[in-house]
Structure 1
Amino acid sequence: MAMKNPVHPGKIIKHDCIEALGLNVTDAAEALGVARTTLSRVINEKASVSPEMAIRVSKAFGGTPEHWLRMQLAYDMVQIRDQMDRIHVKRLHASEISQASS
């Protein structure tokens, strides 16, 4: 069974928190103690929910900071999975690491 792509937490903040309370972005940003542009970038999915923003959102709208951060991580992981083939790294082994530090 295919897993549904997670939603960016900014979309949830926009629809289920800000709009549900009849707030505009300016008023919500003021309540959160952040710049309007900062909140706008998050709710328009241009920026991630940071740990600090997660605390602010949880205090203002509910949920735990960990909940908001897990949502962001789930979203980010789906986004990066599409790029996994383009990420090339050399696999390191313990013996190589200990030799490099000597």
Structure 2
Amino acid sequence: MLLTKKKPVSAGTLLVEEFLEPLGLTQTELVELSGLPRRQVNELCRDCRAITADTALILAKVFGNAPDFWLNTQLRADLWAVMNTPQQG
């Protein structure tokens, strides 16, 4: 995995800007399609919650892509954050 100085797009931003908005879906419609709790969908969209393996499976089923797509997006953002956060101590 190649990491750059530029912050990668977050999984929540990707969910909203590349899936929900182009498809004309609301968070409420995603809740209905996925069976995920409303709070979880909202927190994902606001980048207040990370994509987990079970959520990746659900999103992949809803959007017709692979769970790895969602997990890799989350992993890239997590690694970038760790590598670009000043070390304490």
The TM-score range, normalised by the shorter chain, is 0.7 to 0.9
Report whether the alignment pairs 1:57 with 2:70: no
SS at match of 2:72: helix
Match of 2:69 among 67, 70, 73: 67
What is the Cα deviation at residue 10 of structure 1?
1.1
Give distance in 1, aligned partners of 2:81 and 2:18.
23
Give distance in 1, aligned partners of 2:65 and 2:7.
21
Give distance in 2, aligned partners of 1:14 and 1:42.
9
Q: Which amino acid aligns with 2:75?
A: L
TM-score for both structures, normalised by structure 2: 0.86
Q: Structure 1: which 5+ residue stretches go unaligned?
A: 89-102
Q: Which gives a bigger RCO, structure 1 or 2 (Cα 8 Å, sep 6+)?
A: 2
What is the Cα deviation at residue 82 of structure 1?
3.0
SS at match of 2:9: coil
What is the Cα deviation at residue 84 of structure 1?
5.7
Give distance in 2, aligned partners of 1:15 and 1:32.
18
Q: Structure 2: which 5+ residue stretches go unaligned?
A: none
Q: Which residue of 2 aligns with 1:21?
A: 23
Identity %: 26
Give distance in 1, aligned partners of 2:76 and 2:86.
15
Q: Which residue of 2 aligns with 1:47?
A: 49
Report whether the alignment pairs 1:10 with 2:12: yes
Q: Which amino acid aligns with 2:20?
A: I
CA RMSD of aligned residues (A): 1.7
What is the Cα deviation at residue 5 of structure 1?
1.7
- How many pairs are equivalent? 86
